[in-house]
Structure 1
Amino acid sequence: MIVHWHRRDLRTTDNRGLARAAATDEPVVPLFVFDPTVLEYASPVRIACLCEALEALRMRYRELGSDLVVVEGEASGAVPRIAAEYDASRVVWNADYSGLARDRDRAVRAALEDAFVTYESVHDAVHHEPGTITPNQGDHYSVFSYFWKKWRDRDKRDPVDEPDADDLADVTGDPLPTLDDLEFDEPDATPQPVTMAAARDRVADFCSGQIYRYADEREYPAATGTSRLSPHLKWGTIGPRVLYAATERAVAETDSDGDRESVREFQRQLAWREFYVHVLAFNPEIVSDNFSGYANDIEWRDDPTALEAWKAGETGYPIVDAGMRQLREEGWMHNRVRMLVASFLTKDLLLDWRLGYDWFRQLLADHDTASDVGGWQWAASTGTDAQPYFRVFNPLKQGGEYDPDAKYVREYVAELSDVPTDAIHGWHDLESAERERLAPEYPAPIVDHAARRIQAIEMFERARGETPE
C-alpha cells in the first residue's frame, strides 16, 4: 500500500499528491494526523473549520469505498506507525512552506528513512514552486509588480482528477476527535462552511457573475464584491488549478474588455497570495522578525489599554470597530478593512504589528501564515514591497470613501445603527455632548488621528536614521 498524508489539502479533486499516490499500482491509504506541535499554534475557530473539512473529506472517501484514517500524535511518530500498520512502502504528501511545516516534515523524513519507507513531497499548494520565479540575482522577488509580470505569463498546470474507487484502500477510520478531545473551546465566531462542496459552489457562483464586478466592488465591505474563498484556499478544500481554470473560463465566456480586466484583477490577487508564499519560503523568520532591518529600531509603544480597545472594536473609529467586530463574529474580515485595522494599530496606536498578527492568528478562520505575515508587515511598513511609512491611512476618510452609506458600520456596530451617516463618518469631530446624545454606548475616539499620524512618521524616521522635520 501507499499512504497519502493530508495536511492543508483537504480535498480529493485537484490534489496532486493524492493523484501521484493513486498513479501507482498500490492502494492508497488516506491519512490525517492531529499533531500537537502544530495544534499548539491553532485556535478554536480554525480547529472547528478543520474538523468540518475533515468530516466532509471522510464522507467523500466513504462514498468511494474507502475512509480517512485519523490519528493523534507527533507526525514523526504517527506517520511511520501508520505506514507500518498498513505495510505501506511509500508515503506521499503535498509540500508546505512555513518554517513550522518544514521542521515537522524534516523530522518525518528522518523517521521514515529509519523505518526504510520511501517518501515523496509533491508541489501542490500554489501554481509555481518557490524558487521558480526569481530575479536575475537572488532567490525570490521582493517587489510584487515584478513577480506578477512573470507569474501571469507562466503556464499553469491543469487540474488533476479525483482518484477512482479502485485506487483507494479498503480501510476503516476511527471517529474524528471533538474540539473537547483536542482541548479547544467552542469558537465564539460562526464562520462560513469550509467543505469541498461549499468551495465548489462558491467558485461556481463567483465565477459566473460576481467576478465581472470584482474590480469595481472588491474594495467596498458592504458589497458582496469579494470571492470569500480565502478559507477554502487556506484549508485546501479547493485546488488552485481548479480555481484558476474557472477564472480562465470566465475570461473566455465574456466579450467585454471590462469583464476580462476584472477577472485579471482577481487573478492578480491570487498572485499576491502566491508572492507571499515565495517570500516566506525563503524567509521563515519573518513570522516573528521584521523583513526590513531598519524596523528593528522602531520604538513601538506599550499600551495594553489601547490594544484591548482595538481588539474589542471600541476605538471610537467606526469602520475600524466594525472590522474588529466582524472578525469576532465571523472569523473573517473584508480585505480593505484588514488593511485599515492593521494601519490603525501600527500607525495610530503605534503598537507592534506582531500584536495584531497574533490576534488575527487566533480569530481568523482563514489564517494563513504567509498571507497574514505579509499583510501585517505591508501595513506596518516593515515588510517586502510594503506601504511607505509616510502614507498613513486616515480611517475617517477611508470610511467615507469605502462605506459611504455606513451600511457596513451599521451592520457590525449596533450602537451606531440609528446614527446619521454624516455623524458616523464625522464621529471624531463631534462635540462630546453630541456623541453622547447620538450614541451614548459608543466610545469617543481613543486617539487623535492627525496627531498620531505625525508621531508615526517621526517614529519611523528615527528608526531609519532620518531627522524628523
Structure 2
Amino acid sequence: MAVYWHRRDLRGVDNRGLARAVTVDDGPVVPVFVFDPTVLEHASSIRVACLLEALEGLRAWYRERDADLLVARGESSDAIPRLAAEHEAETVVWCEGYSGLAADRDRATTAALEDDGVSCETVHDAIHHEPGSITPNEGDHYSVFSYFWKKWRDREKRDPVAPPTANDLATVSGEPLPSLTELGFEKPNAGSTTNSDQEPTLQLPTVTQDAARDRLESFCADDIYRYEDERDVPAADATSRLSVHLKWGTIGIREVYAATERARERAETDDQRANVTAFQRQLAWREFYAHVLAFNPETVTENFSGYENEIPWRNDPDELAAWKAGETGFPIVDAGMRQLLAEGWMHNRVRMLVAAFLTKDLLIDWREGYDWFRRTLVDHDTANDVGGWQWAASTGTDAQPYFRVFNPTTQGREYDPDAEYIREYVPELADASADEIHGWQDLEPADRERVAPAYPAPIVDHADRREEAIEAFERARETSAE
C-alpha cells in the first residue's frame, strides 16, 4: 500500500504523482492532504478559501470512486509518517515543489519517513520540464527568457496521464475539512474605497477540477485565437484565467498544453496559429520562473541582481497605503488595485503597471508589493510573483531595464483607450470622458473637482519621480560595482 500526499495538485486527472503512487507498491493508494502550520503562516484568507473549495471538489471526486481524501493538521514531518504508519504504507509519493519553503518541508518529511523505514518517491508534475533539464552550456539555469523559450518550445511534451480507477484507491473515510476559522483565518471580504453602505462582495473564482476544465475548453474554443492581439487590453478580458487553477493544480499542465495543441490543429489561419503560440509562450514564462526559483530560493527576499542594499527605497507609508487602496490619482493604477480588492485577481498587463508604479514612481521596495500580492491574490505563485516583481523593479533575471519607466498615463491611453476598464473599477470616474480620465494628471484642481470630486488628485508627479528613480538606480549600480 502507498500513501499519496496531495499538495498543490488538487486533482485526480493528469496527476503524474498520483499515477505513480498507483504503480509503486502492491495494494490500493491512500490519498491525503496536510494542513501544515508552517505553510499556512505564508497563506492568506483569500487563498485558504480557494484551497478549501478545491479540496472539497477533490474529496467529492474521490468519493465518486468509493474512496476519500484523508486530511490531517500539523507539521508535515509529523503528520505524513503518522498517516503512513496508520495505513501500513511502504511508500509515500508526492509531487515536487520548487520554493525554498517546499524544499525545507520535504527534507524534514523525507528524513522522518526514512527513520521509520518508509520509502519516499517524488515526481515532477507542475511543469513540463524539471529544473536542470533546460540549461545553457555553462550554468544550472537560463537567466534570459528568450534562450529558455527557444529550447522549451522544441522539447517534446508529455501527454496527460490517466486517472486511477476505483480499484486503485483504498476504501477509507476521512474527517470533515476544517473551516477557515478553525484554521485561524477570517472570511475574506472585498476591499472598498467608496462610501457605499452595502458591504462589498468578494467575487472569488470557482476553484474545482470541473471549473478548470470548463474554463480551458472555453478559452481554447475562442479567446486563444485572439490572445496575442487582445491579451494586453484589460477591458477585453481575453486572457485564460487559468492561473488560479494552475496554482492549486485543479488542472494539469499537460492537459492544458494538449488542449492548446488541439486548438492549433483547428486553427484556420497563420494568425490564429500565432496566437496559440503566444499563449504557449506564457506557459513557458511560468516554467522559466520556476526554474529560476528552484536554483535561487533566496530571491523570495533578496534581489536577484545582487545589489541588495544600494537602492535607496523611499518606502513612504502614506504612498504605500494609497497604492494598496487604489487611491493614487492615476486611474489605470487605481483600477487595477481595486480589481484586486474586489476579485482577488488582476489583469496581467495591469499587474506590470501597478508594480512599476510602486517601485519606480513611488520608489517603494518591491518586497512590499510582493507581500501585498501574496496576501490578496487568489493565484499567488511564489515563482511567478517573485519573478514578476523583480522584473518590474529591475532587480531580477531578464528584468525591465531600470531606465525604462512605464508612464501610467500613456499606458492607460494605449491599453484602455476608451477607459472602459477604468470606469468599471473606479466608479468615481464613471461620468468622466476618456480624455479627462487619461489626462487626469494634467487637469487643473478646479477641473478635477468638477469632473470627479470624489476621486483623488495624483499623489506624485510622474515626470519628476521618473527622473528620481533613474538617478537612484544609477547610483545603486555604481555603488555595487565599486
TM (norm. structure 2) is 0.96
Structure 1 residue 209: deviation in Å? 1.0
Structure 1 residue 441: deviation in Å? 0.7
Structure 1 residue 238: deviation in Å? 0.5
Could you say which residue in structure 1 is the equivalent of 2:154? 153
Could you say which residue in structure 1 is the equivalent of 2:105? 104
Task: Give the alignment of 1:388-407 within 5 angstroms.
Answer: 388-407=401-420
How far, CA to CA, are the matches of 1:340 and 1:124 in structure 2?
32
Cα displacement string for residues 174-203 of structure 1 (whole angstroms, at most 9, x for unaligned residues): 000000000101112322111000000000
Contact 2:302–2:308, Cα closer than 8 Å, also in 1 = no
Contact 1:290–1:296, Cα closer than 8 Å, also in 2 = no
Could you say which residue in structure 1 is the equivalent of 2:86? 85
Structure 1 residue 466: deviation in Å? 7.8
Is 1:28 aligned to 2:29, yes or no? yes
Could you say which residue in structure 2 is the equivalent of 1:129? 130
Contact 1:22–1:163, Cα closer than 8 Å, also in 2 = yes
Q: Which amino acid aligns with 1:361?
A: R
Could you say which residue in structure 2 is the equivalent of 1:309? 322
Out of 431, 437, 440, which is 1:418 matched to? 431
Cα displacement string for residues 351-373 of structure 1 (whole angstroms, at most 9, x for unaligned residues): 10000000000000000000000
Cα displacement string for residues 426-452 of structure 1 (whole angstroms, at most 9, x for unaligned residues): 000000011011111100000000000
Q: Which amino acid aligns with 1:348?
A: D
How far, CA to CA, are the matches of 1:126 and 1:275 in structure 2?
10
How far, CA to CA, are the matches of 2:306 and 2:291 in structure 1?
19
Contact 2:310–2:479, Cα closer than 8 Å, also in 1 = no
How far, CA to CA, are the matches of 2:22 and 2:153 in structure 1?
30
How far, CA to CA, are the matches of 2:259 and 2:187 in structure 1?
35
SS in 1 for 2:183: coil
Contact 1:295–1:463, Cα closer than 8 Å, also in 2 = no
Structure 1 residue 296: deviation in Å? 3.2
Q: Which amino acid aligns with 1:113?
A: E
Cα displacement string for residues 102-147 of structure 1 (whole angstroms, at most 9, x for unaligned residues): 0000000000011110110111110000000000000000000000
Q: Which amino acid aligns with 2:14?
A: D
Q: Which amino acid aligns with 2:315?
A: D
Could you say which residue in structure 1 is the equivalent of 2:225? 212
How far, CA to CA, are the matches of 1:238 and 1:25 in structure 2?
27
Structure 1 residue 224: deviation in Å? 2.0
User: Identity of aligned pairs, percent?
Assistant: 70
Cα displacement string for residues 27-83 of structure 1 (whole angstroms, at most 9, x for unaligned residues): 000000000000000000000000000000000000011000011000000000000
Task: Give the alignment of 1:120-199 within 5 angstroms.
Answer: 120-188=121-189, 189-199=202-212
How far, CA to CA, are the matches of 2:385 and 2:209 in structure 1?
23
Out of 358, 366, 370, which is 1:345 matched to? 358
Could you say which residue in structure 2 is the equivalent of 1:4? 4
Could you say which residue in structure 2 is the equivalent of 1:381? 394
Q: How many equivalent residue pairs?
A: 467
Could you say which residue in structure 1 is the equivalent of 2:370? 357
How far, CA to CA, are the matches of 1:296 and 1:194 in structure 2?
40
How far, CA to CA, are the matches of 2:412 and 2:187 in structure 1?
33
How far, CA to CA, are the matches of 1:294 and 1:360 in structure 2?
23
Structure 1 residue 302: deviation in Å? 2.7
Structure 1 residue 294: deviation in Å? 2.6
How far, CA to CA, are the matches of 1:466 and 1:280 in structure 2?
26
SS in 1 for 2:121: strand
Could you say which residue in structure 1 is the equivalent of 2:347? 334
How far, CA to CA, are the matches of 1:353 and 1:183 in structure 2?
28
SS in 1 for 2:227: helix
How far, CA to CA, are the matches of 2:94 and 2:103 in structure 1?
12
Could you say which residue in structure 1 is the equivalent of 2:196? none
Q: Which amino acid aligns with 1:159?
A: P
Structure 1 residue 26: deviation in Å? 1.5
How far, CA to CA, are the matches of 1:428 and 1:89 in structure 2?
66
Q: Which amino acid aligns with 2:150?
A: K
Structure 1 residue 425: deviation in Å? 0.3
Could you say which residue in structure 2 is the equivalent of 1:256? 269
Q: Which amino acid aligns with 2:391?
A: W
SS in 1 for 2:234: coil
When the two chains are superposed, the root-mean-square deviation of aligned CA atoms in Å is 0.9
Structure 1 residue 293: deviation in Å? 1.3
Q: Which amino acid aligns with 1:65?
A: D
Contact 1:94–1:123, Cα closer than 8 Å, also in 2 = yes
Q: Which amino acid aligns with 2:226?
A: R
Q: Which amino acid aligns with 1:26?
A: G
Structure 1 residue 25: deviation in Å? 2.8
Contact 1:32–1:70, Cα closer than 8 Å, also in 2 = yes
Could you say which residue in structure 1 is the equivalent of 2:462? 449
Is 1:50 aligned to 2:51, yes or no? yes
Cα displacement string for residues 143-167 of structure 1 (whole angstroms, at most 9, x for unaligned residues): 0000000000000000000100000
Flag structure 1 segments of 5+ consecutive residues without an equivalent. Answer: none
TM (norm. structure 1) is 0.99
Task: Give the alignment of 1:263-274 within 5 angstroms.
Answer: 263-274=276-287
How far, CA to CA, are the matches of 2:58 and 2:174 in structure 1?
12
Contact 1:2–1:88, Cα closer than 8 Å, also in 2 = yes
How far, CA to CA, are the matches of 1:22 and 1:201 in structure 2?
27
TM superposition outliers: structure 1 runs of 4+ over 4 Å: none
